[in-house]
Amino acid sequence: MKRGNFLRRVLLPILFLVLTASVLIVCKRNSQVETGGTGIKKFQGTVLHMIAEQQTPTEALEKQLGLFKAETGIEVILEMGPFDNVVQKITLAMQSGSDEYDIIATPYQFLGNLVVNNYIQPLEPLMNNPELRIIPDYKEDDLIKGMWDASGRWKNAVYGVSANSCIMHFAYRKDIFENPQEKAAFRTKYGYDLKVPLDWKTYQDIAEFFTRKAGATLAGERLNQDFFGVSMSGKRHDATTCEWLNYAWSFGGGIFDEKGNIIIGNAKNVAALEYYNNLKKYAPPGVSNKTWDEQTTEMQQGIAAMAIIFNDCLPALENPTESKVVGKMGYGAVPIGEKPAAHYGAWSYFIPTKSKHPEAAWVFLQWFNTPKIQKALALDGAFPNLVSTYMDPELNTLPYWEATMEAYKISTTRPRIPEWNSMNEELMLQISNVLAGQSTPAAALATAQQSFERLLAGQLPITYQ
């Protein structure tokens, strides 16, 4: 091939493609330039890029984004994906210094990591700027303070707002709990009345009582498949540590004591893990490969009597298109051991330090926290951030609403320190080892204790988490 031919046939097409791509990128960027306006339309024409987990609240939010654009002129491009995928994308974007996202959603346990790496910006400068108070119905004092602090405050600064206020609940089959035959049989067997369990002994008795083989009778009907007392998570996954921590806190254990020393290997945690491991014999087979997704399915299919589960799974149980137990469920608080506890597990919205449009992003977060939007989201299966929304009479007709409000009163949060992800990874592994029969609770938690001490060497006691 002659030089002229080579240039014409190979290099020129490549050059053409590169130039075309560059022009398209420049055009796309220009399209994102804030064109501006006045009042609520101050940021009209701005395009915000947002990433969040694909879950009921995010899907509910997606339906409202058109309204946001109509009211403010700001377009939000929402990217959704599975948990791991979202965490991966956010990590890569933050670590590479990308300005790709204006709003990110992560579980609050990432807060410490995001702050110490300067990946997210404090909200106070935006909150205190009167020129940005352009959303009429937004009132900061309506936000539930404890929830906001847990999901967005790190030391003396606020970095985010709660995206989805999940908290763990006790969910049970009200229809079989209230069945007279079952009540009488339970009383005969255990010597006390069948009722919503307030302690772990009752919880285990009920789990045992309702575990039945196919062919047996349940509430007067013959079972055509096995029925189980409880549904649980046990996969090497966040779902398992989230569920087990309810037991650990309630048994009087936890990760740190009041002084900030690691106590994961103590006797109370070992007792909680022994109890958890023992409970699995009343659960459908395969506990060590289950997360909240499988728990939700098991409850929806009506093959388990009760579960301890996040409240954002509950709307799916009451959805007539996918659940066999609509109207048959009851909801309450996690049973109590030494003390009451309910795992608070919210996701939070943060504005990255590199965001191109932090002011418009703050306008979005204000709009997100207005009563009208919070109620619309709640009606679609999300859980709100506002006191006023929880008091809304229409929402109070939802079957799980009262239980959710009660659960917030006993909410407990997991650590948000930068090392928590590594600690959580170790905890997942050790609980999984126990449930798979590869380790004993005492040995597994002793290993976790050593691992935590190694990870936090030189930083103990942990005085802020």
Which parts of 264-323 interact with another protein (CB under 8 A)?
Answer: 284-289, 297-298, 301, 303
Q: Is 425 in the site for another protein (CB under 8 A)?
A: yes
The string of DSSP codes covering 20-81 is: HHHHHHHHHHHHTS----SGGGTTTT-EEEEEEE-SHHHHHHHHHHHHHHHHH--EEEEEEE
Q: Is 116 in the site for another protein (CB under 8 A)?
A: yes
* Smallest separation, CB 117 to another protein (Å): 5
Q: How many Cα atoms occupy the beta-carbon half-sphere of 159 within 13 Å?
A: 29
Among 54, 421, 440, 450, binds another protein (CB under 8 A): 421
Q: Which stretch binds another protein (CB under 8 A): 20-28, 189-197, 249-257, 433-441?
A: 433-441
Count of H-run helices and E-run strands, the chain: 20, 14
419 within 8 A of 255, measured Cβ to Cβ: no
The string of DSSP codes covering 310-357 is: EGGGHHHHT-TTT-S-TTTEEEEPPPBSSS--EEE--EEEE-BTT-S-
Which parts of 232-251 interact with another protein (CB under 8 A)?
Answer: 235-237
When the beta carbons of 363 and 431 are compared against another protein, the nearer one is 431
When the beta carbons of 26 and 92 are compared against another protein, the nearer one is 92
Which parts of 342-381 interact with another protein (CB under 8 A)?
Answer: none
Number of residues that bind another protein (CB under 8 A): 41
* Smallest separation, CB 426 to another protein (Å): 9
Can you state the percent helix, strand and coil of the chain, rounding each to 5? 50, 15, 35
From CA 106, how far away is CA 450, in angstroms rounded?
28
Determine if the peptide bond prior to 107 is cis (ω within 30°). no
The binding track of 79-98 with respect to another protein, each residue x by CB under 8 A or -, is -----x--xx--x---x---
Joined together, the tokens standing for residue 19 give 């130039």
| Position 308, amino acid | I
When the beta carbons of 246 and 433 are compared against another protein, the nearer one is 433
Nearest residue to 283 via CA among 333, 341, 235: 235
When the beta carbons of 387 and 446 are compared against another protein, the nearer one is 446
Among 143, 305, 427, 435, binds another protein (CB under 8 A): 435
Contacting positions for another protein (CB under 8 A): 1, 6, 10-11, 14, 84, 87-88, 91, 95, 113, 116-118, 235-237, 284-289, 297-298, 301, 303, 418-419, 421-422, 424-425, 429, 432-433, 435-439
